[in-house]
């Protein structure tokens, strides 16, 4: 079949924070760059980040990148790669200042410097006490950041392909990446985007779970495309459940609420985090707080008629602080919980929020398979695994991740493109056909499964079998169920065959990506027989030999899931930082 082809120096898939930050690097270097996005760039899910972006600016008290690095390694439960973590924490002040220069409307201190607030797991002096490290624009930091990054791209004349969905990664016989094949949503026309360097910045896949803070668009498209092209997915068993999603609605309430003094309470009004994390209390890391909440609920101390949530209380805060620092949260509470938090506490439950794993990369943004970079292929942001978050991400490190690794991958793409003067090899026809067959099936499928029902079945399975606490038998059953659901996904049927803005077709293609992520998650989680960070299972309990169930002897390693045969492989964690000493393994306590 004849497909239109376009040629670029670089193609970026995804126009959230990471994609836009990388695009600035490429466009300002004068390279011909195409940015593809399913949505207008400012509608990407970075827009929903609330609390802040971390950087050891030390604007209101002493801080140091090395302390930030320590906190990040500890937060990751030592699964994060210490070279990438050092790189990120050292770069943080520069990329945040750069963003300020782009026009980001950060809140300000009386000194005129950027306002910083405390956040979970961020401490001074190697774990001593909470430190103000989260640079914030009220509780709309992601919105302010995404708009500032888009605006800088407008200035740089970046070429956007808005409302295009990438379908598949295109590779040469030798494995080199040659670009992507994509569909224009308005017309259903398919085009090949050939490029010397391709960046995936497609975000997370939180929609594999029934209850998620994630947007509808977070369907793991980059992960699905990578998996189908033979790239493994790393550490997919590690999913962050954010402690404070609005009960019932799933909408996020930032940890910045606790940073500003908010307190979690159980049915007797007790500040229960004092029992679980005597030092950091409500500002312990997210996995710790989420588990404490679920324990309270499971032990009958939940709130409400069904005792199924706890309360986030800020009624003791000055209403003026709520209005100036947390105005968006107040809106969300009124809209989605029917509660004005100035007057009454907000009902909250742990809700799927962030994917720590992803496409394996190094800190340069290069995708790494079998210890070697895949020529021409880069990934950054939530879809990538550098790995800086390991088994549990600290709040505000996600916005930092996308700035640092968006920029870093952009820089290395510029270098790579300039070192490749030759024209690109032709794209093998079979690569293009692989994608066309998948799309064309949807036009001819009869008696197939309903997309909505199939997706809902997958989401329920993930929610029930792979949640905050995991159980051996449930993981085993869940893995089997997901493989059954995969059979249905391969036969989903759409009734709408229109060529014009066919959202049924798009959702079917998204479910094909989601199921790859669901399989990677279930199979990786089932295999990891220890507890670490966000992955906690009943058969790996807290023992003197394995505190908190963590088994460094056998499991201090990254999981790699390959789609082909659902094969698992492992690779070592990088414990050696770039310039400082290794942050030595120890039991985590907050």
Interacting residues toward another protein by CB under 8 A: 39-40, 42-45, 47-48, 97-98, 100-103, 105-114, 137, 140, 143-144, 147, 151-152, 154-155, 186, 215-217, 248-249, 251-252, 328, 331-332, 335-336, 450-453, 494-496, 498-504, 507
Look at residues 554, 549, 556, 573 and name the one whose alpha carbon lies nearest to residue 469: 549
Q: How many CB atoms lie within 10 A of CB 373?
A: 17
Beta bridge partners of 252: 245
Q: Work out the angle between the directed axes of helices 472-489 and 451-465 (0-180°, nearest 10).
A: 170
Among residues 117 and 588, whose Cβ is nearest to another protein? 117
Q: Burial, 18: exposed, middle or buried (Cβ in 10 Å; 0-12, 13-18, 19+)? A: buried
Among residues 331 and 539, whose Cβ is nearest to another protein? 331
For 332-387, the three-class secondary structure string (H helix, E strand, C coil) is HHHHHHCCCCCCCCEEEEEEEEEECCEEEECCCCEEEECCEEEEEEEECHHHEECC
CA atoms within 13 A on the CB side of 441: 15
Q: Where are the beta strands (DSSP E) in 392-452?
A: 449-450
Dist CA 329 CA 115 (whole Å): 18
Per-residue burial over 423-442, b = 16 or more CB atoms within 10 Å of its CB, e = otherwise: eeeebeeebbebbbebbebb
Considering the complex, what minimum distance in angstroms separates the CB of residue 307 from another protein? 18
Among residues 202 and 559, whose Cβ is nearest to another protein? 202
Sign of the C-alpha dihedral computed for residues 341, 345, 347 and 348 taken in this order: positive
CB 237 within 8 A of CB 521: yes
Among residues 144 and 400, whose Cβ is nearest to another protein? 144
Considering the complex, what minimum distance in angstroms separates the CB of residue 20 from another protein? 13
User: In the 8-state DSSP scheme, what is residue 549?
Assistant: G
Q: Where are the beta strands (DSSP E) in 43-163?
A: 53-54, 116-124, 129-135, 159-162
Q: How far, in Å, are 191, 434, 439, 506, 523 from residue 1 at the CA level?
A: 12, 11, 13, 21, 36
- 286 catalytic? Reply is yes
Catalytic residue among 286, 325, 528, 532: 286
Q: How far, in Å, are 194, 259, 276, 456 from residue 292 at the CA level?
A: 49, 18, 7, 28
Dist CA 470 CA 191 (whole Å): 43
Look at residues 519, 135, 143, 574 and name the one whose alpha carbon lies nearest to residue 385: 574
Beta bridge partners of 264: 312
Strand pairing class (190-200; 4-13) = parallel
Q: Burial, 571: exposed, middle or buried (Cβ in 10 Å; 0-12, 13-18, 19+)? A: middle
Considering the complex, what minimum distance in angstroms separates the CB of residue 252 from another protein? 8
Considering the complex, what minimum distance in angstroms separates the CB of residue 388 from another protein? 24
Structural element, H or E, at residue 168: strand 164-171
Q: Burial, 473: exposed, middle or buried (Cβ in 10 Å; 0-12, 13-18, 19+)? A: exposed
Q: How far, in Å, are 97, 510, 553 from residue 388 at the CA level?
A: 21, 27, 21
Structural element, H or E, at residue 431: helix 429-444
CB 364 within 8 A of CB 374: no
Active-site positions read 286
């Amino acid at each position: 079949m004849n497909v239109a082809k376009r040629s670029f120096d670089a193609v970026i898939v995804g126009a959230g924070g990471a994609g836009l930050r990388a695009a600035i690097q490429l466009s300002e270097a004068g390279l011909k760059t195409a940015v593809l996005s399913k949505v207008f760039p400012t509608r990407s899910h970075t827009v929903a980040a609330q609390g802040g972006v971390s950087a050891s600016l030390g604007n209101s008290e002493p801080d140091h990148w090395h302390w930030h690095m320590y906190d990040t390694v500890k937060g990751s439960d030592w699964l994060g790669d210490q070279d990438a973590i050092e790189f990120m924490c050292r770069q943080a002040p520069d990329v945040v200042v750069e963003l300020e220069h782009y026009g980001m409307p950060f809140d300000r201190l009386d000194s005129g410097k950027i306002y910083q607030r405390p956040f979970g797991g961020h401490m001074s002096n190697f774990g001593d006490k909470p430190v103000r490290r989260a640079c914030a624009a009220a509780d709309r930091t992601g919105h302010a950041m995404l708009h500032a990054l888009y605006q800088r791209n407008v200035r740089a004349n970046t070429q956007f392909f808005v409302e295009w969905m990438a379908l598949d990664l295109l590779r040469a016989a030798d494995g080199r990446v040659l670009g992507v094949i994509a569909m224009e949503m308005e017309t259903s026309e398919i085009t090949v985007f050939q490029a010397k360097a391709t960046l995936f910045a497609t975000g997370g896949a939180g929609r594999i779970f029934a209850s998620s803070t994630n947007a509808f668009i977070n369907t793991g498209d980059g992960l699905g495309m990578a998996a189908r092209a033979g790239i493994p997915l790393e550490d997919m068993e590690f999913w962050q459940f954010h402690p404070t999603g609005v009960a019932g609605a799933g909408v996020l309430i930032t940890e910045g609420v606790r940073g500003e003094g908010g307190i979690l309470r159980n049915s007797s009004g007790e500040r229960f985090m004092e029992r679980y994390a005597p030092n950091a209390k409500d500002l312990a890391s997210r996995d710790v707080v989420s588990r404490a909440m679920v324990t309270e609920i499971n032990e009958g101390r939940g709130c409400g008629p069904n005792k199924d949530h706890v309360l986030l209380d800020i009624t003791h805060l000055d209403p003026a602080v709520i209005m100036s620092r947390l105005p968006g949260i107040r809106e969300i509470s009124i809209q989605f919980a029917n509660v004005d938090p100035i007057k009454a506490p907000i009902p909250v439950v742990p809700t799927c929020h962030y994917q720590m794993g992803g496409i394996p990369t190094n800190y340069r943004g290069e995708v790494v398979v079998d210890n070697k970079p895949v020529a021409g292929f880069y990934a950054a942001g939530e879809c990538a695994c550098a790995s800086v978050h390991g088994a549990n991400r600290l709040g505000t490190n996600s916005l930092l991740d996308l700035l640092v690794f968006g920029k870093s991958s952009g820089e290395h793409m510029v270098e790579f493109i300039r070192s490749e003067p030759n024209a690109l090899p032709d794209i093998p026809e079979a690569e293009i056909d692989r994608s066309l067959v998948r799309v064309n099936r949807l036009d001819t499928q009869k008696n197939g499964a309903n997309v909505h029902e199939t997706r809902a079945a997958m989401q329920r399975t993930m929610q029930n079998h792979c949640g905050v606490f995991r159980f051996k038998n449930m993981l085993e059953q869940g893995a089997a169920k997901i493989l059954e659901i995969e059979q249905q996904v391969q036969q989903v049927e759409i009734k709408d065959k229109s060529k014009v803005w066919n959202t049924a077709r798009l959702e079917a293609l998204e479910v094909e990506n989601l199921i790859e992520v669901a399989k990677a998650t279930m199979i990786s989680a089932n295999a990891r027989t220890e507890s670490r960070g966000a992955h906690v299972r009943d058969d790996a309990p807290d023992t003197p030999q394995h505190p908190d169930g963590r088994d460094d002897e056998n499991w201090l390693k990254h999981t790699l899931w390959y789609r082909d045969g659902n094969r698992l492989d492992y690779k070592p964690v990088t414990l050696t930082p770039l310039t400082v000493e290794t942050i030595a393994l120890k039991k985590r306590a907050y």
